[in-house]
Amino acid sequence: MLPPVDTSAILRLQQDILARNAALRAPAAAPEQPRFGAALDTALRQVSTIQDQASAATTAFETGQTHDLASVMIARQKASIAFEATLQARNRLVAAYKDVMNMPL
């Protein structure tokens, strides 16, 4: 003779299997990636900070607060390089945008 069937145990087992299956199907929470706009904003703020530091160093030299011409020239060159890199990035973004907009449908 067969043992009696416990339907409540079978239902609990079925619910447990469904819950595990749903947990496996749920997408894993991926770490949030930085957005392009936020990265661009951060980069532009850094360039602005470098330019402000160069301007402050230049003003300090012109007013006689410092006599270290080398540090002033280095700060000005850093600002120039940062601005030029930003300008080149902008030019490439504009060119890429134009390429995408000129693609035939």
* pLDDT tens, the chain, 105 aa long: 556 767 777 777 777 888 887 777 766 666 777 788 888 999 999 999 999 999 999 999 999 998 999 999 999 999 999 999 999 999 999 999 999 999 987
- Which residues, 6 or more positions from 83, have their beta carbon under 8 angstroms from its beta carbon? 47, 51
Q: What is the structure's pLDDT at 62?
A: 95
CA–CA distances in Å: residue 85 to residues 27, 40, 64, 71, 92? 39, 13, 31, 21, 11
Please give the single-letter amino acid code of residue 67.
Answer: H
On whether the pTM is more than 0.85, the answer is no
